[in-house]
Each structure stands twice: as structure tokens, then as C-alpha cells.
Amino acid sequence: MGNCCERLGPQKNTYVRVSLPAVCLVWQIAMIILFGVFIRYGKESDAHWVEYKHKNNLTDIDNDFYFRYPSFQDVHVMIFVGFGFLMTFLKRYSYGGVGFNFLIASFGLQWALLMQGWFHSLDLDTGKIYIGVENIINADFCCAGSLIAFGALLGKVSPVQLMVVTLFGVTLFAVEEYIILELLHCRDAGGSMVIHCFGGYYGLAISWVLYRPNLHQSKQLHGSNYHSDLFAMIGTLFLWMFWPSFNSAIADHGDGQHRAFINTYIALASSVLTAVALSSMFHKRGKLDMVHIQNATLAGAVAMGTAAEFMITPYGALIVGFCMGIISTFGFVFVTPFLEKTLKLQDTCGIHNLHAVPGMLGGFLGAVVAAAASEDVYSKEGLINVFDKEGKYANRGMGTQGGYQAAGTCVSIAFGLVGGAIVGFILKIPIWGDAADDHCFDDEAYWELPEEEEETLPPVLEYNNHMIHKGQDITESSFCVEQS
Amino acid sequence: MGNCCERLGPQKNTYVRVSLPAVCLVWQIAMIILFGVFIRYGKESDAHWVEYKHKNNLTDIDNDFYFRYPSFQDVHVMIFVGFGFLMTFLKRYSYGGVGFNFLIASFGLQWALLMQGWFHSLDLDTGKIYIGVENIINADFCCAGSLIAFGALLGKVSPVQLMVVTLFGVTLFAVEEYIILELLHCRDAGGSMVIHCFGGYYGLAISWVLYRPNLHQSKQLHGSNYHSDLFAMIGTLFLWMFWPSFNSAIADHGDGQHRAFINTYIALASSVLTAVALSSMFHKRGKLDMVHIQNATLAGAVAMGTAAEFMITPYGALIVGFCMGIISTFGFVFVTPFLEKTLKLQDTCGIHNLHAVPGMLGGFLGAVVAAAASEDVYSKEGLINVFDKEGKYANRGMGTQGGYQAAGTCVSIAFGLVGGAIVGFILKIPIWGDAADDHCFDDEAYWELPEEEEETLPPVLEYNNHMIHKGQDITESSFCVEQS
Amino acid sequence: MGNCCERLGPQKNTYVRVSLPAVCLVWQIAMIILFGVFIRYGKESDAHWVEYKHKNNLTDIDNDFYFRYPSFQDVHVMIFVGFGFLMTFLKRYSYGGVGFNFLIASFGLQWALLMQGWFHSLDLDTGKIYIGVENIINADFCCAGSLIAFGALLGKVSPVQLMVVTLFGVTLFAVEEYIILELLHCRDAGGSMVIHCFGGYYGLAISWVLYRPNLHQSKQLHGSNYHSDLFAMIGTLFLWMFWPSFNSAIADHGDGQHRAFINTYIALASSVLTAVALSSMFHKRGKLDMVHIQNATLAGAVAMGTAAEFMITPYGALIVGFCMGIISTFGFVFVTPFLEKTLKLQDTCGIHNLHAVPGMLGGFLGAVVAAAASEDVYSKEGLINVFDKEGKYANRGMGTQGGYQAAGTCVSIAFGLVGGAIVGFILKIPIWGDAADDHCFDDEAYWELPEEEEETLPPVLEYNNHMIHKGQDITESSFCVEQS
């Protein structure tokens, strides 16, 4: 069994005992200092609210907390359980999937509060960022971009690299979001553009730069088993169920949140049916593939991100979901293998099909729906309200708004691709502790695994794999292997 | 091992590559057309709300979204994670449990928005159905009826059959609900009658018609394993925790929702203790049975569905939970085997004990509590408010109301039994791709399973698969064990 | 292999067929009687609310239900899925972890409604306890104390003993809570003192009295496997995500809830980074340990329980999380083994590091933050509001308040240690059906396990079981593997 221990044993190049603690501690200390300098409670979360409330004849229920906190909690579940468990599908990288997701989201949301604060909420008089529930939701959103990128890299990078991906991902996110939402004055409540399209292309660009020509050497671990796919379904379902909250969390109070949730709910239902239909149709025996059920069923919501708060109509939402279920499943079956073969693009979770393309299409869809908006459909006040036609934007025509929305989508793609390529090159520096091509998708590298791991691997297969790898000679007697 | 491979191999009769995609795509297109013709945003989810709000001196918080959305999300989790994971308990049908639940609920909620809309919310002037959060909750509720029926059929029907079960289930639901709530003017906030009683008898009737005399040939897969039972506990707990939201989701604003949640919360706690007590008592060595913990603990909430918003008193709720935990566990231990033996009724999940009987008893309980209602207990306004004693029902006596409630329960049973029998006969047509009696409870039929399936099957099978793959020479004698 | 079968076989001393049903049924009947005598709907959940509302010019949204129900549901998930699944990490005690948690929390919340009602909400005129959503949240909180204690005892006690632990735990909780919150007039919204500190020391004292000198005989089951650790992560994440709701659930309406959630959210993020850093740093090869990720990541929220609603500032919350992640991980690595060795204290889940110490530190932290509170920071009205400086407490200085807070922490420790020691001695009476030292951590004792349990045990054992069942003849040579 000595050899066996070697196989499962440490890989020199994945030693992160210095770099991982250093990055976590130093960056966390930096967060504390920056929070100390910049972050303060917002008006509605400060103890002064009691006086403010009395002065302005408000009641407690007017506090934004009661409008947004339930949606926040749903978003929070999506970020940590949704994304986290969706990435447990690999049979021996489930800890990495859910654990590193946990780590980088926890860092990302802190950094996002600062980055988004500087760009969106900085009070120029006091130099402080005043935070409340909406900032917190946006911080979770901002993390989502980096978590999407993680999907493309799953199993191939070290936790230290993921921290770097998140540091730059959040930074780029805050800048592109500022350009899209503030400078171009686009609407993007559910983040088709700023979250999914950006996050998708960001991850794909990094993965493209980090291409591993010999990844096939890890193929015995590059797949799921019966229960790991079931764990991943937990992630899928929590994403699917709570996506109506995601798209409505920061929509306008009242009808805006109400409509955004309905549109997303409807689009998602439709995606499930077409994803199932295509999954069965593309299999030679008509069987369903868990990869499609876990992912393509969600594509409708990604594409509804921008348009969810618009008057896209319920049947419009159904059509979006219908098309996205088809496009996404098609992508998993044909496009991802094609990209890997021709573009040398390795995309572990298929974020191309769930985030990049549906996000991009959602951005353009939002442009079209915005351009088609009219006072007939929205009412005069409604149109102003939905598209924030105030101040210098009061006279912007809806066609122009559509053009700006389309431009916003292009900005997000550009930020994703260029930013991702740069970050990819940074990650190629051989100091980050990533595994060799033949040791990817293996929790062994970064996790102390339970001793009884034999329990979930088939003993003889293990043994034989071992034999094959190590070229060990086996006589009959060697089947007297003992469980350690 | 040849036989073994055959066993796991493809079954001609479960080929759904044409029928499943056809049903999904055609029905989804039909939904789009019908939504296009009929469904529009409701007053509170339309962009015109801003003007409406100003005219009526409302504020955003008055939007029904804020009264019901948190409850909706809990209900949504119950439908997809609760029901879905509860049905993962079979060791090799977990994908089917959670996956087909996902599929049919996604179809059912769309069809429910239409069917319930036509019966309850159709604006006769415009011919449109205007939807908002309450319609969405009701659509989820309506699905629940068909998901309950799925519980009786789990592992024995094809996904195409389940789509048919859902199509008719939602249709029948909308009609019986119209009769019970509108024509008989019953109250049934948590759906003991319209959801559980109907859904339970609907599923039992279908299963009775589809009786499989040789189902024992699949008995080696008709059971759980250690981790599949743990996955099922996820379903149980999310159902259990969120049932207070289920029963209060469409109760009256204010005290109605508040009281419905408290009653359900209390009844559920009581069910757990009696389910545990009986489970231990009925086992010859006093051990607990996961089937009872997963199911009978929920029975109190089913029976509280109708009476949850009434003034049943907290100790009344405790008594209901107490009795239901006992009745339901008793049902699992004695009644289900008895029904299978004498009535030829195969009920995979035991919905008879969790939904049919508790739902029926809950309906009659509601009748009794309604009949006993008085102005002393409810206050004059309270009585009007709780029982909607308005218009032509203003003078209906409480005894009469109780009679109507009891009649409503009978209507739901009748719809379940008759409707289920008819649907059962439709499903007997041999075109639906269901598995043979000796291939039930097996995901292999409809799912592309991970290659490493050996991991969860006995080791010798593994070994032999491996041998076949690797062409390794092994003496026959050492591996004579066959999977039973 | 005969011994092996014996090992898995029934143990006479774990026979609970009489005691468990008796305790469950008798105590449940007692609850019904006591509820009948004492518990009534509160003003806001009674049908009279409609008249009350009209008299007082209130609207439905003013009902406390809408302020607290979303937080309640999150807390409820923490109690049943959070605590429940966190305790599934043992490879063969997952049913016991989640199932007994379910049982005792269901009992505890009923008893808590009574105990807390008598101490906090008894209407002296009518002799009744009027309940609403806040009482329900507090009942869930009260259970948490006993569930924490369960963590120290996991795998070593019988379900009957756990019922006793809960009976006394809830009782002691209600008394110490009364002393701390009412007599000492402390603030403790998230329960660092009354829940975590008390629950932690209560469990540790019980475990200390129940020391098992030969527990090492069960060491083969005293660990996790790959999937049991993943199930535990479900618990961790739901605790982590919903802890902001836990700490804000009963905080003041408006800014109080808003601020408590933000502080907790921030502290938790910080804990994750330091827990990861220390986990990697303390491992000789820099690998992460699931125990730390599952537990130490939560420590920041425990310590923020008292101070969450204070103006601790966002960076203050970050610092708390930072320190707690370090202290808690350090505790798991060094202190728990040290306590076991020197104090003979066996603490299965390490509640010392997650609840006892962070709770105690959180109590003292709250004392310091309270002592430092000033009108500058809180505003005049804000200070009164946050610290309930009303009636006879209007003139209590903030330094004095800090002293009382510190005294409250000491009270909770004392109640935990003394109460736990007494309960421990009660549990030593040999009538409770707990397992012998060599049969701990084994669901076999109290659960009917699936027949195919071989699937998760090593293959040769399976084979032998099979052999015994089938009476098949097999040559000795082929099966020389032993389970260790």
C-alpha cells in the first residue's frame, strides 16, 4: 500500500502552506484597514435612523430592509449553496467546488463593498461609503461574476489563483458596472450584462490562456458519480428557485420587483422543458444527461436578467426561456467540445453555455425590449420610473436607450475578454501552487481527505488504476490489501 | 456477468427519444400561444402601478408582493427541493425522483396559471387573466397535487406518463378547486382538501389501475441506501420547515397569515414526537425507521391545511399533530402493506398515509372547526373576515358552512378517485415508454448514468466490469458472487 | 467474519422500545395539557386583530408578522437543516445527527414556548401566555442551546438522554435568560451569552461528567467519509448564510434589524478567510481540514451575537470575525485535544471552539461596546432605543450597562457549567439506553438501516455478509481482506 499512498500523496507543486495563509491574512487585514477608512453604516442602518424617521414622518416598515432583505437572503443562498453545490458534481473535487466557492465569495463580497462603494456610493463630502441592504446585495452580485469564472477553471487552479481571479474579477466588475450603469445609463437589474456576460467571458479568457494540453491525463477524475451529481442538483435547484429573487432583488420597489420576479419565474419554467427535450433528443437512446438538467434549465433566467423588470410580457418571458433552454443544451452537446478542440478552450462547467452566451443574448434582448418601450405599454410615469428617465436622461429616446443597452453588452464582453486574458497571464507565473495536468480535479491536492476514502472508490478499480499508473507488479497475493 | 450487463442494459420499451421531446416541445409551444392570448401582468405587477399607486394614495409597501413573496419563496422551495428530494430515497432512482419532479412541476405551474386563471381570475371584459404573486403561489399549489400523485407512481412510470398525469392533474385540480372554493364557498388556505386529499386519491387511483403484478421482480432496487435516505431527509426538512409558509401563503393579510403559520408550526412539532414514538414502538428492537421520520413527521401540517387560519387554538393544533403522527406512522406500518395485498394498490412513497388520509381528515377537521366558530371567539368582524361572509354568503350560518366544508372534502375525494381512474386507463395504452415490471426503480432507463456506477454497486460487479474494460485475466473461481 | 456481524448486531443496552415512545408520548401529552391551560393566540395572531387594527388606525403591514417572518424562516432553517446537517459529518451517525436533532428541537420548541412564556410573557391578569412570531423565534433560539449541547454528545448518548438534555436545557435557558435580559437588563439580540455561551458550557459540562474512558474502541467510526463531510457542508452553509437573520431576528424594528444583519454578514466573511488561513497553516502539508471549514468559519457570527445591533462599526465587525476565525481554528487544532487529554473532556463536534469560547468572548465584547456607547455615535434617541433606556433603566450609565453585560456573561457560564454537571449526573443513571464505549458513533443502535449497507462499507465485508445470507461456499484464499 505504500505506493498507493504515494499516488494519493502530496504533490510538491501544490504546496500552498505559505501562499494561501499569506494571501488570506494579508488581504483580510487590508480589508479591515480599508473598511476602517471608508465604510460606515448607511442612513437606514445607523442608530440615527430613529431621529431621521421621526423628522420625516416615516415608520419602521419604510426602511429599505423590509423591501429587500428577503430577496437578499435568497441571493445569498444562490451565491453560497447554489454556485457552491452546483460545482460539487465532480466525483473527487466536491470539496474544492463548494469550499473554494465559499472562500472566494467571502473575500469577494468584502472587496466588492469597497470597489462598488468607491464607484457608486462614495459620499464626496465625507469621503465615506455608507452601506445598507442594497449595497450588500450588490456585493453578492459582484462576487457572482468571479464565481462564474471559477466554473470554467474548476479543478485546474489552486485556491491562491482563485483569490487572484476574484481580486481582479471584482475590480473589473466594478469598473465595467460603473461604465454600463452610470456612464451609459443602462438598466440591468438582474445582471445579464454586468454579471453573466462579463463573468462568462472573463472565465473563458482565463481558461483559454491557462490551456492544459495534457489535461486528458486527469480524465479518470474528470466526471461525476451517482451521488456527486445529486449534490450538484441541490445547487441547481436553489439557483433555479431563487433566481426570481436574484433578478428582482434590486429592481424598483413595488411593480418593478413584482414584475421582475414573475418574468424570471416564467422563463425558468420554460427552460426546463426545452432543456429536457433537447437533452433526450441529442442522446442516441433518448436518455437525459444530468449536465443539461443541472445547467441548461437555468439559462432562461440568465437571459432575463436585463429585461426582467421591463414589460416583456409573460409570453415574451416564456419565449426567452424556450429559446435559452435549446441554445444552452445545444451548447453543452456541440459547442463546448468544439471550442475545446478548435480554440483550445477548456471549460469545466460549461459556463460558455450557461452564462457567457445567455448573458450576451440577454443583454441584446434587453436592448430590443428597451427600444420597443412606449408610453402606451408603460404609462407615462411608468416609463420614467422603469428607465430612470430623470435629470439629463429625461429626454433620451427609447431607441437611443436600446442602443446604449447594446453598447453596454459589448462593454461587458470586452472587459471580460481583455481582463480575463491579462489575469490568465498573471496566473501562468509558476508560483501559485496549481496541480500538474495529471493531478487535476483531485481534492487530494488541497484537502485533508478522510482516511476511509476507499469507501467511495471501487477497491479493485482503484487498485488497478494504481497498478496502471505505477506499473506495479502484482501477484495473486497482493489482493490481501488491508484497509488502513 | 452477461446477465448482469443485460440487466443494466437498454430496454427497448423505455425508449422515449421521440415521445419525450415531442411532448415537451409541443406542450411548451402551446403554453406560449395560450399565454400570448390570455395572460397579462396584474395591476400590481404592471408598469401602470406607479400611476395607480399615486391615484389611490398607496405606497410601495402596499403592493401584495411584500405581503406574500417571502411565503412564495418558501412554497417554491417545498415544491422543487422538498418534494424533489423527498423522492430521492430510492437507491437507484434518485435522479428520476428529483429530475422528473423538476420537469413536471415546471410544466404544471404554467398550465396551472392558465387553468386556474380561466376558472378564478378571468376578466370577462377583456378576456385576459391578470397575474400577480397570489396567482403564482396558487400555481405552485396546483402542481403539488400532481407531485403528490407522482409519489405513488415513483419508479414505475415514464416521464411522458408523468407529463400526462400532470396535464390531467392540473386540469382536474382547477375544476375541483373551483367547485370547492367558489361554488361551495369553502375556506381551504393550506389545501388539505383541494391539494392533499385530491392529490393523494388521484395518485392512488392511477396506481391502482396501473397495478404491476410482478413488481417484486424489481425488489432489489426497491429500497434505499444510507446516503439516499440522507438526501431524502433534505426534502423532508425543507417541507417540514416551510410548511408554515405553505399554509399561510394565501391566508388573509395580517392575523390570518400570522395565525396560520403558528398553528402549522405547532402541529408539525407535535407530529415529530408521535411519529418517533410509534416508529420505535412498532419495531421489534425499538429502532427508528427512516420512512416514518421522512414522512409521518409531516402529517400534522397536511391535516392543518384547512383549519390553519381558523381559531383552532394552539393546543388544538398540538392535538391534531399528535393524532396525525400516530395515524400516519400506523398507516406506513400496517395500512400500506394491507392495501398492496388486498386492494392490489402499490404506493411507492406511501402517499396514502401522508396526503390522502391526513388531507381527508384535515378537510373534515376544518368542517368541524368552521361549524364551531362563533362571534365570541372570532369577534364580529373577525368571523366575517376569516370566513369571507360577504355578499350572498353573509347570512350563511356556521353550521351550514361546516356542512359545505365537509361536502368539499367529498368533492375532492371523488375528483381524485374518478379522475385518477380515467387517467390510469389512459396511461395503460402501451405507447408511453414505461419500464417492464422487472426494470422499475432504475434510473438506467431514462438517464445517462456516470460511467463509474460501480462505485455504488457491489464490488464484484465492479470488478467484472473492470475486467471487461481492461481485458484482465482473472480466475473465475474468485469472483463467483452475483449481484442479487 | 462472525465477529463482524456481531459488531453490527443489536446491543441489548441500546434497547429504547419502551423508554423512547414513553418519553415522547407522555411529554407530548403534557405539552398538550399545558398548552391548553396556558397558551393563547397573541393580539396580532387572533381573529380580533381586525377590530383592533381598525380601532388603532393600523394597516395589515403593521402586523409584526411582516417584520419578522422572513427572519423566522431563516432561523428555522438554521435550527433544523443547519444544526441537523452540520451533525451528519460522522460516516455512520448521520441519521442520528440529523434525526435526533429533528426530534429534540421539535420537543424543545414546545417546552420553550411554555418556559419562556412563563418567564417573559405571562399575562398576570388572565394567567395566559399570548404568542406571536417573536415568541416563536425565541422558542427556536431556546432550542439552539440544547442543540449546541448535543454537539458535544453526538454519537455517545441515546435519544432518550437527548430528550432529558433538552428538557433541562430549555428550563435552564429560560431561567438564565430571565436573569440576564430582565433582571440585569442586558441586551443580547443574537444570543452570544444566553444561547451560545450557555449552550456551549452546558454541553461541555454534561460531556465531562459522561466521560467515556474507552471511547477509543469506537474510533473506527469516529470520523467522516467523503460524502458525509459534504452533507455537513450543507449544514455549515445554511448556518453561515442565515446567521445574519439569526442575529437580527428579534432586534429592534428598522435600523436595529438592518444593522444587526450587516454586522453579522461582515463578521462571517472575515471568519472564513482566517479559518482557511489557519487551517492551511496548521497542516504540515498546507492542506485544508473540513472540520475547520465546517465550524470555524461560523465563529465570527457567534461572537457578534450580542454586539450585532450595537454601533460596532463595519470594520469592528471585520476585526471580530478575523479574530474569531483564528481563535476557533486554533481551538480545533490544539485546545480540543488538550482538553480531552487533560480534562477528560470529549467534545465530538468541538462546541468548545465554536460556541462556548466565541459566545463568552462575544458576551464580553458586547459589554465593552455597550460601555463605549455614546450619544455622539448613537444620537440621543438612538441610544435610548438601542439599549432600551426606559423606565427604571433610563438613567443607567453606559459604563454600568457594560458591567451588567459582563455579569450576564458570567451568569450564562455558571448556568451552563452547574446545570450541565447536574444533568450529566442524572444521565449517568444506567436506564437511558446509551451504547457501550465500543459501540458509539453507530446508527445501527437506534436506526433500522437499509439492508444494502454493504454499499458504503468495504467490499469484503459485504461479500461475507452475502456469504452468510446465501450460504454460499467460497474458498478462504480469495477473501483475505479484513476490515480494520
Average pLDDT for chain C: 91
ipTM score assigned to the predicted complex: 0.91
DSSP per residue, A385-407: HHTT--GGGTT--HHHHHHHHHH
- CB–CB of C382 and A231 under 8 A? no
Separation between Cα atoms, residue A398 and residue A186, nearest integer Å: 11
Give the pLDDT score at C376: 94
Asked if residue A221 has pLDDT above 80, the reply is yes
Average pLDDT over residues A441-453: 87
The angle, 0 to 180 degrees and rounded to 10, between the axes of the packed helices C314-330 and A19-38 is 160
Of B70, B110, B234, the CB nearest to A70: B70
Integer Cα distance of C45 and C40 in angstroms = 9
Name the 3-class secondary structure at C448: strand
Q: What is the dihedral of CA C351, C352, C355, C356, to 10 degrees?
A: 140
Could you report the per-residue pLDDT of A83-130, keeping only the tens digit for each? Answer: 999 999 999 999 999 999 999 999 999 999 999 999 999 999 999 999
Query: Quick check: helix, strand or coil at residue C440?
Result: coil
First-to-last C-alpha distance (Å) of chain B:
12
Confidence check: pLDDT of A480 > 50:
no
Kindly list the domain boundaries of chain B, sorted by start residue: 14-445, 453-484
| DSSP string of A183-230, one letter each residue | IS----TT-IIIIIIHHHHHHHHHHHHT--TTGGGGTTTSS--HHHHH
> How far is Cα C306 from Cα C405, in angstroms, rounded to an integer?
9
Check whether A466 has a pLDDT greater than 60: no
C451 — pLDDT class (breaks 50, 70, 90)? confident
**Cell output for A68:** 429587500
Q: Cell for A167?
A: 481580486
Cell numbers given for C470: 446465501
Residues of C in contact with A21 (CB under 8 A): 276-278, 280-281
Interval A287-302: pLDDT, tens: 999 999 999 999 999 9
B461: closest chain C residue by CA:
C459
Comparing CB atoms, the residue among A24, A44, A47 nearest residue C273 is: A24
- Chain C (54-83) residues lying within 8 Å, Cβ to Cβ, of chain A: 61-62, 66-67, 70-71, 74
- Average pLDDT value for chain B: 91
- Asked if residue C466 has pLDDT above 70, the reply is no
Nearest beta carbon to residue C44 from set B258, B377, B385: B258
Distance CA A11, CA A32 (A): 34
Q: Cell numbers 479559518 label which residue?
A: C275
Mutate which: A35, A64, A457, vs C, most C CBs within 10 A: A35
| CB within 8 Å of B447: residues ≥ 6 apart | A287, A288, A289, A290, B95, B96, B99
Using an 8 Å CB-CB cutoff, list chain A residues near C90: none
Tell me which chain C residues have a C-beta less than 8 angstroms from the C-beta of A136: 261-262, 265
Chain C residues whose beta carbon lies within 8 Å of the beta carbon of residue B61? 61
Whole-angstrom Cα distance, residue C146 to residue C135?
17
User: Would you place residue C233 in the very low, low, confident or very high pLDDT band (cuts 50, 70, 90)?
Assistant: very high
Residues on chain C touching B223 (C-beta within 8 angstroms)? 450-452
Q: Is it the case that residue A308 has pLDDT exceeding 60?
A: yes
Nearest-CB residue to C280 (from A17, A107, A234): A17
C87 CB-near residues (< 8 Å, 6+ apart)? C96, C97, C98, C101, C150, C151, C154, C232, C235, C349
Give the pLDDT confidence score for residue A296 in this predicted structure.
Answer: 97
> H or E element: which one contains C37?
helix C19-38
Instruction: Report the C-alpha gap between B259 and B244 in whole angstroms.
Output: 10
DSSP, res C372: T
Q: How far is A475 from chain B (nearest CA, A)?
A: 11
Least confident piece of the model among A131-145, A214-228, C10-24, C446-460: C446-460
Share of chain C above pLDDT 90, in %: 88
- At A60, is the pLDDT very low, low, confident or very high (cuts 50, 70, 90)? very high
The bridge status of strand A288-289 relative to strand A128-131 is: unpaired
Chains that touch C (3 or more CB pairs under 8 A): A, B
Cβ of residue B372 closer than 8 Å to a chain C Cβ: no
pLDDT exceeds cutoff 80 at B483 = no
The answer for C 18-57 residues in CB contact with B (under 8 A) is 18, 20-22, 24-25, 27-29, 31-33, 35-36, 39-41, 44-51, 53-54
Fold for the domain defined by C18-445:
Ammonium transporter fold (1.10.3430)
B448·A266 Cβ contact <8 A: no
Mutate to test the interface with A, among B8, B35, B462 (most CBs of A within 10 A): B35
Helix axes A226-248, B94-116, angle to 10 degrees: 30
Mean pLDDT of the region C246-250 = 96
**Which chain A residue's Cα is nearest to C313?**
A40
- Cα→Cα distances A89→A228, A290, B367, C409, Å: 5, 10, 49, 44
Q: Which of B157, B200, B140, B129 is nearest to B359 (CA)?
A: B200
> pLDDT, tens digit, for every residue of A345-374?
999 999 999 999 999 999 999 999 999 999
| pLDDT per position as a tens digit, B402-420 | 999 999 999 999 999 999 9
Tell whether the model's pLDDT for residue A273 goes beyond 60.
Answer: yes
Question: What is the structure's pLDDT at A5?
Answer: 39
pLDDT score at B158? 96
Spell out the residues 6+ positions from residue A471 whose beta carbon is closer than 8 angstroms to its own: none
Say if the Cβ atoms of A261 and B84 lie within 8 Å.
no
What is the arithmetic mean of pLDDT over B443-467?
60
Lowest-pLDDT choice from A136-145, A376-385, A456-465, B155-164: A456-465
The pLDDT value recorded for residue A39 is: 97
A474 touching B, CB under 8 A?
no
Per-residue pLDDT averaged across A254-280, rounded?
97
Grid coordinates belonging to B342: 388486498
A207-214 mean pLDDT: 96
pLDDT digit string, tens, across residues C299-319: 999 999 999 999 999 999 999
Reported as a pLDDT band with limits 50, 70 and 90, residue B482 is very low
Using a pLDDT cut of 90, give the percent of chain A over it.
Answer: 88
Q: Which residues of C touch A17 (CB under 8 A)?
A: 280-281, 283-286
Interface test with A, best of C233, C312, C384 (most A CBs within 10 A): C233
A33 vs C contacts (CB less than 8 Å) = 315
Give the lowest-confidence range in A44-58, B90-104, C456-470.
Answer: C456-470
Give residue B208's Cα distance to chain centre: 18
Distances (CA, A) of C173 to A9, A179, C142, C144: 48, 54, 7, 10
For residue A255, the chain B residues in CB contact (below 8 A) are 44-50, 63
CA B20 to chain A, closest CA, distance in angstroms equals 6
Q: Interhelix angle for B357-371 vs B314-330, to 10°?
A: 150
Hey, are the CB atoms on A15 and C458 less than 8 Å from each other? no
Please name which of C135, C141, C181, C139 lies closest in space to residue C42, comparing C-alpha atoms: C135
pLDDT at C87 over 80: yes
pLDDT tier for residue A452 given thresholds of 50, 70 and 90: low
DSSP B184-251: S----TT-IIIIIIHHHHHHHHHHHHT--TTGGGGGGGSS--HHHHHHHHHHHHHHHHHHHHHHHTTS
Are B276 and C25 a contacting pair at CB < 8 A?
A: no
How far is A276 from A278, CA to CA, in rounded Å?
A: 6
Measured distance CA(C474)–CA(C456) in Å, rounded = 22
pLDDT reading at B476 higher than 70: no
- The separation between CA A47 and the C-alpha centre of its own chain, rounded to angstroms, equals 35
- Cβ–Cβ gap C482/A483 under 8 Å: yes
Query: Could you give the angle at the alpha carbon of C423 between the alpha carbons of C421 and C428, nearest 5°?
Result: 95
- Calculate mean pLDDT across residues B6-21: 70
* CATH 1.10.3430.10 matches A27-445: yes
| pLDDT tens digits for range B52-77 | 999 999 999 999 999 999 999 999 99
- What pLDDT was estimated at residue B452? 56
Q: Which residues pair with C447 in a beta bridge?
A: B288
Query: C residues 93-112 near B, CB within 8 Å?
Result: 94-95, 98-99, 102-103, 106-107, 109-110
- Helix (H), strand (E) at residue A272: helix A255-282
Q: What is the pLDDT of residues A137-175, one digit of tens each?
A: 999 999 999 999 999 999 999 999 999 999 999 999 999
Dist CA B277 CA B265 (whole Å): 19
Q: How confident is the model at residue A430 (pLDDT cuts 50, 70, 90)?
A: confident
- Which amino acid appears at position C112 of this protein? A
Residue C94 has pLDDT above 60, yes or no: yes
Does the pLDDT of residue C456 top 70, yes or no? no
HSE of C33 in the Cβ direction (CA atoms, 13 Å)?
Answer: 6
**Residues near A123 by Cβ (< 8 Å), separated by ≥ 6?**
A129, A130
How far is residue C210's CA from residue C344's CA, in Å, rounded to a whole number? 10
Q: Which residues of A touch B17 (CB under 8 A)?
A: 280-281, 283-286
Q: What is the pLDDT of residues B416-433, one digit of tens each?
A: 999 999 999 999 998 888
- What percent of the residues of chain A are helix, what percent strand, and what percent coil, each to the nearest 5? 75, 5, 25
pLDDT for A461: 38
Q: What is the model's pLDDT at position C9?
A: 40
C-beta separation of A149 from C357 below 8 A: no
Instruction: Give the residue-averaged pLDDT of B247-257.
Output: 95
- At residue C468, the pLDDT reads 32
User: In the prediction, which pLDDT does A451 show?
Assistant: 76
Which residue in C198, C165, C166, C168 sits closest to C180, CA to CA? Answer: C198
Question: How confident is residue A458, by pLDDT bands cut at 50, 70 and 90?
Answer: very low
Cβ contact C482–A484 (<8 Å)? no
| Closest Cβ opposite residue B311 in set C47, C136, C460 | C47
Q: Which chains touch A (3 or more CB pairs under 8 A)?
A: B, C
Q: Which of C71, C219, C272, C387 to mutate to test the interface with A (most CBs of A within 10 A)?
A: C272
Region label for B252, one of left (φ > 0), alpha (ψ between -120 and 50) or beta (otherwise): beta
C41 closest CB neighbour out of B259, B322, B386: B259
Q: Which of A14, A86, A447, A464 is the best mutation test for C, with the most CBs of C within 10 A? A: A447
B458 touches chain A (CB under 8 A): no
Facing residue for B63 by CB, picked from A226, A241, A254: A254
pLDDT band of C72, cuts 50, 70, 90: very high
Q: Which CATH class is domain B14-445?
A: mainly alpha
Q: What is the C-alpha to C-alpha distance for residues A457 and A459, in angstroms, rounded to an integer?
A: 6
Local confidence band at A14 (pLDDT 50, 70, 90 cut-offs): confident
